[in-house]
Structure 1
Amino acid sequence: MKHDHFTYRISWSPEDGEHVGLCAEFPSLSWLDKSPEGALAGIRRLVAEVVQEMTASGEKVPDPIADRSYSGIFKVRIPPAAHRTLVIQATEEGVSLNRLVSAKLCA
């Protein structure tokens, strides 16, 4: 079932005083429950229902993040001064700019 591949997250909601279940592919959906297990079960059921409704009405269901292919390459635009600063830092550390920025992003 496609909805089993979606990215689910459970966190505590201080505002609601309950655990909230979320799905990254469906940011408008959430489920509150007293237990984290209940929040996960609830959001999974809700997503399954929404996927079923979308499929029945011919809407495109989002591809699960986990099932997508990633190249490992993305481009980011930064101000020229920040670019220069990063090049200097990379040079001083004896690493490539790519390795420096990758390390900063993954830290």
Structure 2
Amino acid sequence: MTVKDYLELPYNIVIKKIKDESGTYYHAAVLELDGCQSTGDTYGEAYSGILEAMEGYIETKLENGFDVPVPLDTDKYSGKFVVRMPKSLHQRLAMEASQEGVSLNQYALYKLSH
């Protein structure tokens, strides 16, 4: 495969707004390409930068004979998994969900995403 072929694959790009002591900016990274990242003052700059970084990353890997990771297969994820936990934690989460007026599943999803 060529660099262009890889760039046409559906890689997972994450762009996050950052506020820290240096100010506000956007950080972009490709989940499958370890270390492939970029920043920009705007979302658009970060996105443009990550596309450029991906090209350089893939080109360097190919030139040096390394494998280039392919995108994660999102079709293999069903959206559910089983978690074993102590009874006391299950009780606490169920009580908190009840207080919030939501199901335990909805509450667990909220807790996992924050």
- TM-score scaled by length of structure 1: 0.61
Displacement of 1:46: 0.4
Please say if residues 21 and 43 of structure 1, whose CA atoms lie closer than 8 Å, have aligned partners that are also in contact: no
Paired residues in the alignment total 98
Please name the residue that 1:7 is paired with.
13
Indicate yes or no: 2:111 matched with 1:104: no
Aligned counterparts, 1:3-82, within 5 A: 4-17=10-23, 19-25=25-31, 26=33, 28-56=35-63, 57-64=65-72, 67-69=73-75, 70-82=77-89
Displacement of 1:24: 4.6
Q: Percent sequence identity over matched residues?
A: 16
Indicate the RMSD between aligned Cα atoms, in angstroms.
3.3
3-state SS, counterpart of residue 28 of structure 1? coil
Aligned counterparts of 1:68 and 1:38: Cα–Cα separation in 2: 27
Runs of 5+ consecutive residues of structure 1 not aligned to the other structure: 93-98
Displacement of 1:86: 4.8
Please say if residues 30 and 37 of structure 2, whose CA atoms lie closer than 8 Å, have aligned partners that are also in contact: no
- TM-score scaled by length of structure 2: 0.58
